[in-house]
Structure 1
């Protein structure tokens, strides 16, 4: 079980790496929005020879990268919504079991299906050399669509990591400091 927890820790490190990149996308998004506001309302020229359409499209690209790269990391840090009205009254072993069943049936399945369908979506965009609907917009739309594939892949890795931790908790070998990161709150 310790080797599986090592795999989980390695996955968590990888997710943290992508999460940091996603955080930078968030910073760049704030910067892009500020530039957009300043150039639009104060008549300042747009940087890099961009036009308003390209600047605004870059904002939704950055939104996409922010969410796509952060979602797996956020899941492992318990930064997602939980509705624990019933689960909180369960014994801890049952909580781990509920977590494992939920991950196996819902999250992992959803991640696989999402990756499969968004892969086709991104591949089609790549093969068709899809560009912005606007003639003066950004090109290579497949890049932003590929971020959706990556999002589902990262969610799948987060599911594997959390499943391993829940399994270790169910078997009684999960270190106490990892209980909150596996079940949320105090477990």
Structure 2
């Protein structure tokens, strides 16, 4: 079980790297929105020779990268929505079981299906060399569509990591300090 917990820790480190990249996308998004507002309302020239359409499209690209790259990190840190009305009253061992069943039936399945379909979506965009609907917009739309594939892959990685921790908790070998990051703040 310790080797599986080591794998979970390695997966968590991968999620942390992508989470940091996603956080930078959020920072760049703030800058892009501020530049867009300043250039639009004060008549300041756009940077990099961009036009308004390209700047606005970069905003939705950065927004996509923010969410796509942060989702696994957020799940790993219990920042997702839970409906714990019933689960909070269960014994800890049952909570681990509910977590494992939920991950196996719902989250991992959703991640696999999402990755499969978004891969086809991004691949089609790449093959067709899809560009912005606007003639003056950004090219290579497959890049932002590929972020959706990454999102589902990162969700799958987070699901595997959390499943391992829940299994360790169910078996009674999860270190006490990892209970909150596996079951939420109360454990």
Report TM bin, short chain: over 0.9
Alpha-carbon distance, 1:185 to partner:
1.1
Counterparts of residues 25-36 of structure 1 (less than 5 Å)? 25-36=25-36
Q: Which runs of 4+ in 1 moved over 3 A?
A: none
Alpha-carbon distance, 1:56 to partner:
0.2
CA distance in 1, matches of 2:13, 2:74: 12
Which residue does 2:151 correspond to in 1?
A: 151
Which residue does 1:86 correspond to in 2?
A: 86
> Which runs of 5 or more structure 2 residues have no equivalent in the other structure?
none
Q: Secondary structure at the match of 2:32?
A: helix
1:89-116, Cα deviation, whole Å (9 max, x unpaired): 0000000000000000000000000000
1:51-98, Cα deviation, whole Å (9 max, x unpaired): 000000000000000000000010000010111000000000000000
CA distance in 2, matches of 1:91, 1:144: 43
- Is 1:52 the counterpart of 2:52? The answer is yes
Which residue does 1:21 correspond to in 2?
A: 21
TM-score normalized with structure 2 length: 1.00
Which residue does 1:103 correspond to in 2?
A: 103
Task: Calculate the aligned-residue CA RMSD, in Å.
Answer: 0.3
TM-score normalized with structure 1 length: 1.00
CA distance in 2, matches of 1:153, 1:82: 21
How many corresponding residue pairs? Answer: 187
> Which runs of 5 or more structure 1 residues have no equivalent in the other structure?
none
CA distance in 1, matches of 2:74, 2:12: 10
- Is 1:11 the counterpart of 2:11? The answer is yes
